[in-house]
A = this chain, B = another copy of it.
Amino acid sequence: MKILVVNPNTTVSMTEKIGAAARSVAAPGTEIVAVTSPMGPASIEGFYDEAFAVPGLIRALGEAGRADAAIIACFDDTGLDAARSFAPFPVIGICQAALVTASQIAKRITVVTTLSRSVTPLEELVERYGFGRHVKVTACEAPVLALEDPGSDAREKLEAEIARALHDGAEAIVLGCAGMADLAAALSQKFGAPVVDGVAAAVKQAEGLVSLGLRTSKRGAYAAPLAKPYAGDLADFTPR
């Protein structure tokens, strides 16, 4: 089984970290192919970056050749609905994957993300997935790319926020950024509570769907794009 892991931002070091996290939990027969978006923002922090990450994501999905499933490795599930309409295989978002995983081991969950500006977008996502009553979202105020910089204090800020969430009644923690994918095991051990990384969770969700033979429904909201002209710089993306 081949699972495509698309980093929808253009930062290669993050793709490598994400790919490694995915491989470390993949089942024996699973091949993880981690790809970096060929165009768009270096990190996704807020609505504007998110919108401009979608074309690169779709291109990455389209150029990847045959695959059995794909994972979008950004915690705001960038372009997930468009990708599900587009791809012939199931597509998993790491936010949704983390939430459905955490909801099976805890009743009260806190997502710890990077910056405050992402809190409201993530709250809307959580609400849309149906977890509004169970899940809180907080920010540790470390930017995404600081997580790539060993000299930053991003890790300290993240741990302080996790400690606060557990003290306030969280039963499990969800890491709210793909760039935290390498930290879940250590944090889980340190705090004695489940810490869920969305990338790892998404790999298991993807493997599950593939081995069950389940694909995105093409009835209703996720029906394939209708054929129609696309103009200008985006003509390459014309649906056929």
Interface residues in chain A, defined as those with a beta carbon under 8 Å from any beta carbon in chain B? 10, 25, 27-29, 38-43, 45-52, 54-56, 58, 79, 81-82, 84-86, 90, 92, 96-97, 100-101, 103-108, 116-117, 119-121, 124, 127-134, 143, 145, 166, 169-172, 185, 188, 193-194, 196, 200-201, 204-205, 207-209, 211-217, 219-223, 225-226, 228-235, 237, 239
Question: Which one, B56, B166, B200, contacts A219 given CB within 8 A?
Answer: B166
Contact A217:B58 (CB < 8 A) given known A48-B82, A130-B133? no
Q: Can you list 18 contacts pairing A with B, beta carbon distance less than 8 Å?
A: A10-B229, A10-B230, A10-B231, A27-B27, A27-B211, A28-B29, A39-B235, A40-B234, A51-B51, A105-B215, A119-B169, A119-B220, A120-B221, A130-B134, A193-B217, A204-B211, A205-B208, A207-B208
Contact across chains for B52 and A237 when beta carbons are under 8 A apart: yes
Q: List residues of chain B with CB within 8 A of the CB of A38.
A: 231-232
The copy count of this chain in the complex is 6
Question: Which one, B104, B201, B234, contacts A55 given CB within 8 A?
Answer: B234
Report Cα–Cα, A106/B220, bound state, in Å: 9
Q: List residues of chain B with CB within 8 A of the CB of A39.
A: 230-235
Known contacts A52-B58, A171-B217; 9 additional CB pairs below 8 A are A25-B211, A40-B232, A47-B221, A50-B82, A106-B217, A107-B124, A119-B169, A204-B209, A204-B212
Contact across chains for B40 and A223 when beta carbons are under 8 A apart: no
Nearest Cβ distance between residue A64 and chain B, in whole angstroms? 16
Q: List residues of chain B with CB within 8 A of the CB of A90.
A: 104-105
Contact A223:B117 (CB < 8 A) given known A42-B229, A48-B239, A230-B41? yes
Question: Which one, B43, B51, B120, contacts A54 given CB within 8 A?
Answer: B51
Contact A222:B107 (CB < 8 A) given known A130-B134, A133-B127, A234-B56? yes
